[in-house]
Structure 1
Amino acid sequence: MPYFSPLPSLTLFYSLHVTDTAPPILRIHCWCCNSHDWDFSIAPLAATYRVISFDLRGHGHSSAPPDLT
């Protein structure tokens, strides 16, 4: 699983579906959801766009703030 860790206490999970020269689309989920809510639409979009989905902090595979653990 790919993770981005800009701080020692913060780890964000993301998925990247690449079409080399395509413009990017960033998929951000709603409250009480995670990046997998977009799975149904990734394949059609990935044919034309670079699709990036991630889990907000405290959701899915991303780390939660210390006061929420």
Structure 2
Amino acid sequence: INEYYTSKKCPVCEDFVGQVEIRRLYCTKCKTYMHRDVMAAHNMCNVTRSHLMNQTRPLYLQPVDKTKRYYP
């Protein structure tokens, strides 16, 4: 699994998260605290589930190019 954005995006609301402590992250949108590795694991599960069901990666975890457009 490509880990792109898995520890930078919230698996609950799909928004970017901010770092509070070295390994603890906080999402200001949905007010969620989560350990960085746990957040990445949740997002990797979302990637796997999406790939098995739709053969695609969730849009919020897809890489973006320099013009901020998603690409698979």
TM-score, normalization by structure 2: 0.24
Which structure: greater helix fraction? 2
Which structure: greater strand fraction? 1
TM-score, normalization by structure 1: 0.24
